[in-house]
A and B are shown apart, each in its own frame.
Chain A
Amino acid sequence: MSALRTVRLIVNGKPYAREVEDRMTLADFLRHELGLTGTHVGCEHGVCGACTVLYEGRTARSCLMLAAQADGRSLTTVEGLAQGEELSELQKAFWDKHGLQCGFCTPGVLMTLTELLRESPDADERQVRDALSGHLCRCTGYQNIVAAALEAAARMRGKA
């Protein structure tokens, strides 16, 4: 058993400190140490996208990072998107457009689309599909995910 290391970080605005093994991935840290099970673990080699989080504001695969690397850093998981009971515009659009079925890929998809719409509020279908290429969804055929993303973009532009 290797020595434990203290990892201090901020997740969804809240500070946490835990003692973990060096080899623990960030995804497992979020789920098993912090109980933030919204971040899903699918393939564990960076292909499926279910574990995508915002690390220092940018999307990253949390299965391809170590918890130790996140020491002193700040991240956002799917649990951080809603304000209390109030869903984000993107989440509401997923609800309205039936942008998910089983929901396994959804947390990662929401993080990527949150980044995309922040960087490119005018994102068109091509850009949405390009961003989604980093996620595997086996239910929807992606059509309703794309529709939800474009709907959210339109609503957010309307409010701005």
Chain B
Amino acid sequence: MKPPRFTYHCPGSLGEALDLLATLPNARPLAGGQSLMPMLNFRLASPDHLVDLNALEELAFIREDGDAVVIGALTRQRDIENSALVARRLPLMAEAIRLVGHRQTRNRGTLGGSLAHFDPSAELPAVATALDAEVRIASKRGERTLGMAQFGRGLLSTALESDEIVTEVRLPAWPQGHGHGFQEFARRHGDFAVVSAAALVVRSKGAVTRASLTLGGIAPAPLRMAQAEAILQARGTLAQAAEACGSIEALGDATYPAWYRRKLAVSLARRALEQAMGRAAS
């Protein structure tokens, strides 16, 4: 269909954008538009005002900051995909972002937009959760920074207030020699994953000294599997760690019942962990 009526605004600065969001009733920020525009076309969203963030070039950057990589919210997914810095410091992100939609949607889609939309199956919230990302948020009232556990509230729902936008995301880099793995099951390449698994490990003298395992698509928000991480660090096997993903209270629907998602979670967790272990320097 066609979008419902709204008034379009294209602020030239962050301050102007935040002013508009603070004063206009029923306003929605528009970033890359790869989720909001379909929602408008389907009339699943009917804002009275659209505040286009695409002119805010100050929010499009990728820079190294100590032991982290900071990525501006308006950075296009394709620029993250093509970034040598991201490939070097955040190989998990570099791998997973190729599975986000298609090149034509990654040319427009942004990191901040994907986090703010917070689809349970989306790859970028899962990667951000796996890396313990910090999300910087701004409004006319001020700025605040939230970890992913505080940022995510549930299905398509975040801690963002209606006058707030994501401005940047700080992604801590894991040490050189760490292993990463990202696995997902989707019916077609480029579709949202039914379930995805993101794994990071650091190995030393045969033992796993640090582990991160995150599942996407199985719950309303990406799930960190603390139990599986603990099993690995206590010298448990990959199979034991993966099995810990089999008792999650999973989302279920007519197409993908909960039991099926749990089976996928166990298989994908094991594959992602195997991939990460195989890549880690021991």
Total A-B Cβ pairs within 8 A: 92
- Contact of B205 with A by CB under 8 A: no
B37 touches A112 (CB 8 A): no
Q: Which residues on B sit within 8 Å (CB–CB) of A23?
A: 2-6, 8, 40
User: Pick the contact of A68 from B8, B102, B189 — CB < 8 Å?
Assistant: B8
Q: Which secondary structure characterizes the binding site on chain A?
A: mixed
Q: Does B145 contact A (CB under 8 A)?
A: no
**Interface: B157 (CB within 8 A):** no
Asked whether B64 is an interface residue with its Cβ less than 8 Å from the other chain, the reply is no
User: Among A2, A25, A46, A131, which residue has the most Cβ atoms of chain B within 10 A?
Assistant: A46
Contact A130 B34, CB 8 Å, known A23-B3, A44-B1, A61-B108: no
Task: Give A71 to B55 CA distance when docked, in angstroms.
Answer: 11
B107–A69 contact, CB under 8 A?
no
Interface check B104, CB cutoff 8 A: yes
Contact present for B8 and A52 (CB under 8 Å): no
Assess A64 versus B54: contact at CB under 8 Å? Given A23-B4, A23-B6, A133-B102. Answer: no
Docked complex Cα distance between A5 and B101 (Å)? 32
> A25-B3, A44-B1 are contacts. A134–B190 as well, Cβ < 8 Å?
yes
CB pair A22–B7 under 8 Å, yes or no, is yes
Which residues from B are CB-within-8-Å of A133? Answer: 102, 188-190
- 0/1 string, B61-102, CB within 8 A of A gives 1: 000000000000000001000000000000000000000011
Question: Interface 1/0s, chain B 182-222, versus A by CB < 8 A?
Answer: 00000011100000000000000000000000000000000
- A5-B8, A69-B54, A133-B190 known; A64 vs B2 contact (CB < 8 Å): no
Any chain A CB within 8 A of the CB of B41? yes
Residue contact A22 to B8, C-beta cutoff 8 Å:
yes
Q: Is the CB of A44 within 8 A of B41?
A: yes
What is the CA–CA distance of A65 and B78 in the complex, to the nearest angstrom? 17
Contacts of B40 in A (CB 8 A): 23
CB-defined contacts of B190 to chain A, threshold 8 Å: 133-134
**A25 and B2 in contact, given A46-B34, A63-B41, A64-B37 (Cβ under 8 angstroms):** yes
Check A58–B107 contact: CB distance below 8 A.
yes
Does A99 touch B at the CB level, under 8 Å?
no
Complex CA distance for A146 and B7, rounded to whole angstroms: 42
Q: Is B52 an interface residue (CB 8 A)?
A: yes
For the complex, is A93 an interface residue (Cβ under 8 Å from B)? no
**Chain B 1-34: CB-based contact to A (< 8 A → 1; otherwise 0):** 1111111101000000000000000000000011
Query: Is A66 close to B, CB under 8 A?
Result: yes
Identify which of residues 143-158 in chain A touch chain B, using a CB-to-CB cut-off of 8 Å: none
B256 within 8 A of A: no
Closest to A58 in B: B107
Contact (Cβ within 8 A) B5 A59: no
| A75 is an interface residue with CB less than 8 A from chain B | no
A19-35 interface code vs B (CB 8 A; 1 in, 0 out) = 00111010010000000
| Residue A138 lies at the interface, judged by CB distance under 8 Å to chain B | no
Considering the chains assembled together, what is the distance between the CA atoms of A30 and B190 in angstroms? 27
B105 within 8 A of A: yes
Chosen A-B contacts, 27 in total, with CB atoms closer than 8 Å, are A22-B5, A22-B8, A23-B2, A23-B6, A25-B41, A28-B2, A44-B2, A46-B37, A55-B107, A55-B108, A58-B78, A60-B104, A61-B104, A64-B33, A64-B38, A65-B108, A66-B3, A66-B37, A68-B10, A69-B10, A130-B103, A130-B189, A133-B102, A133-B188, A133-B189, A134-B101, A134-B105
Top 3 A-B pairs, shortest CB-CB distance: A134-B102, A45-B38, A22-B8
